[in-house]
A and B are shown apart, each in its own frame.
Chain A
């Protein structure tokens, strides 16, 4: 019996299993430069189906790669060794909103913004907010320990996961936690699974902490003469005891792109830091004043968003800035490489300087933006993808950016994961800890069927 026939016995709905060439091709890519063709794509609807599929795959030694919305930037959902892709996006229910216990239970295919829409009537929200919030799934966010602009205050995904239902490589279903908000009972398997990129199991349900929506938000726009000055201002603000709810850098290249894309946007000139504070009316007013005071000695301008609408428009533009260069230079495309480095906060000015140096040296323009408040810098490199020499330069720039971040005691992936695109840096970043990860991988996935080829987990 063929794999397809076996899967159709489990799924019993031809519309949820596909081997059509175009479908397979669409699932051979995500938003990274990594490619790998699956043999079959399945859209499960229940934990039971996922468990049966994994049992089948385990016995037949077939690779299984879980996928959410395929918005990943490191090839995490790309099936490098073929096999089965589990498109989890059909499992998208909000199972329970339990406000009394400050938590909700959801299926992994639920889109992040849809989750927050469901929480809004309760006056609560789920804070991790990647730029892809409108389409990325909760499962994908957990698998990559995703974060976003407001994680400087609220923390990353791992701070919100209380319990995961996970299907292991052999089809066994486990729960990693419980409803309690804290627990000291044994190994923290929830944290182990969070960020494991589908290499240890397939998440089929998640119990997540939720947080009350703030009553007030204020946006302070500060501009500086250089990106390095801007970075130094961030360090001063944070060390003065203020915890903004967002702290984003938009360097002058990025500002120019944004302004040209949308002439209505009210943005200052220069290298800009957007500080957001949230809380009560009184607390945000006070904190906004304090931020302005700390920035005054070096800023060339300081202003406050004048309305809720202006604030929303600024954030909406920020979220979509990554690919916007193509609007101005249609022959250029953003290519996501070297885009997610992070360094200790104090070393932000150094990484900014280093990235500019690499950009100038290689001759590729770079937009620098990101969640600078938690040390995370997104570098947008753009090239004419039809020109091979530019692609070579791009890869060289990405490599040098990764190495620069590691040299500063940082990470090659702050919130986008390792996948395949950054697997070659795992040893350098983790040293012998990589061997521990490999041992864990072997223990949980002894025959290596779960998302193979990622995170450099296979033995050399």
Chain B
């Protein structure tokens, strides 16, 4: 369900206010006020759902959650505070309360089908691609042909990381992957911020069904989590890292003499337990040195849950904290989510998408030789 119609109080009632979440909530650690932690948000949600007046302070409390879900990992009562936050956000938006930034985001998505309000083509990235991409795209559902897989590109990769989209599609095209003719936003930004995403979901769903594809491959952690949770499960959903991890022997990857670290995107890792596939792909290419906080304990990049859109300073502070987990001497931070890439980059981190790493490892020689340790091949190539 993408819209709150019947609010489930059970999670809220089960919270015993023990405060264990204070020890992990990244926003609480940054802000320090009780309302900025998971326990405070559950209380705020309880208050408004029981009839307390909704005001800007409630909005502030609930809108600062990045939905990273680290609180759910540790909660002794087994509550998922993120679910409660999203329900409460939905409840508030139904009453007409939302951050202006989130309302603008919603309007943009509803008007244009993407989070940027960009009126340009969502497949503009194909224009600058190799001809084989174009040919491949015509073999997709847009040309009325059946494909096994659909590559769900997502707003960020479509409009902000066209080269990464092109690389991804180039790679996936070997395996019979097509595109949706008129892909729209998956709905994640609206659901996270409490708005109805039914229209977007229906729009994409019709096309996925018509494509005949048995699986959808998402390269964005937010898209993946949304497809998995909010789209009916009559087709498979794969993250790009899962797909690639299953095809390593077919990829022909060349080892690179470099060491990277991996940032677990919250919606891929904690929310969906996809920890090993991206690591398997990385280790097939180069050395991996883990971050201080990783896998289930990984710190949020600060970009999710509408926090980047609604609370930019907070978002950047969280990203800088995350950069503090990066081991010294690694060549770059690899991750599997364009939003994480964007936020970590904006905070000064050398973050790249897994696909960018794979792409370099696929190129036979390029201009990257010799690849000495400490010399960031990716930085030069991107």
Chain A residues in the interface with B (C-beta under 8 A): 18, 20-23, 25-27, 29-31, 41, 43, 69-71, 87, 89-90, 111, 113, 132, 134-136, 261, 320-324, 326-327, 330-331, 333-336, 385-386
Contacts and interface: CB of A to CB of B under 8 A. Distances in A.
Interface in B32-68: 32-35, 39-40, 43-44, 47, 52-53, 55-58, 60-61
A41 B77 CA distance: 28
Which 3 residue pairs are nearest across A and B when measured between Cβ atoms? A20-B57, A327-B78, A22-B57
B18 A31 contact: yes
Interface string B151-184: 0000000000000000000000000000000000
B16 A90 contact: no
A21 B32 CA distance: 17
B47 to A, nearest CB: 5
A322 B79 CA distance: 14
Contact of B43 (A25, A69, A136, A331): A25
Chain B interface mostly? helix
Contacts of A70: 17, 19, 34
Most chain A CB atoms below 10 A, which of B34, B47, B56: B34
Contacts of B17: 29-31, 70
B77 A20 contact: no
B77 A326 contact: yes
A30 to B, nearest CB: 7
28 contacts: A20-B35, A20-B56, A20-B57, A21-B53, A22-B44, A22-B60, A26-B33, A26-B34, A26-B40, A31-B16, A70-B34, A71-B22, A132-B20, A134-B23, A135-B19, A136-B19, A320-B20, A321-B76, A322-B16, A322-B18, A323-B16, A323-B18, A323-B77, A324-B76, A330-B14, A333-B77, A334-B16, A385-B13
B10 interface: yes
B91 to A, nearest CB: 14
A368 B33 CA distance: 34
Contacts of B32: 43, 89-90
B40 A333 contact: no
A89 B32 CA distance: 8
Contacts of B53: 21
Nearest to B62: A22
Contacts of B33: 18, 23, 26, 41, 43, 87
Contacts of B19: 31, 69-71, 132, 135-136
Contacts of B76: 320-324
Given A25-B47, A132-B20, A134-B23, A386 B34 contact: no
Contacts of A41: 33-34
B16 A324 contact: no
Nearest to B15: A333
Contacts of B40: 22, 26
Nearest to A133: B23
B23 A21 contact: no
B43 A26 contact: yes
Contacts of B52: 21, 25
Contacts of B23: 111, 113, 134-135
A331 B8 CA distance: 12
A45 B196 CA distance: 43
B35 A26 contact: yes
A22 B55 contact: yes
Given A135-B19, A336-B16, A22 B61 contact: yes
A150 B65 CA distance: 36
Contacts of B57: 20-23
Given A22-B61, A25-B43, A25-B44, A335 B18 contact: no
Contact of A29 (B13, B43, B75): B43
A337 B44 CA distance: 23
A333 B43 contact: no
A336 B18 CA distance: 10
B55 A21 contact: yes
Contacts of A87: 33-34
A352 B374 CA distance: 64
A331 B22 contact: no
Given A87-B34, A334-B16, 12 more contacts: A22-B55, A22-B58, A26-B34, A69-B22, A111-B23, A132-B19, A134-B23, A135-B20, A261-B78, A323-B18, A330-B14, A331-B10
A221 B179 CA distance: 59
Nearest to A70: B19
Contacts of B34: 23, 26-27, 41, 70, 87
A87 B31 CA distance: 13
Contact of B13 (A18, A71, A322, A386): A386
A11 B102 CA distance: 32
A41 B20 CA distance: 21
Interface in B59-116: 60-61, 75-79
A25 B17 CA distance: 13
B256 to A, nearest CB: 35
Contacts of A89: 32
A326 B14 contact: yes
B4 to A, nearest CB: 19
Contacts of B39: 26
A20 B32 CA distance: 15
A326 B79 contact: yes
Contacts of A18: 33
Contacts of A20: 35, 56-57, 60
Contacts of B78: 261, 324, 326-327, 330
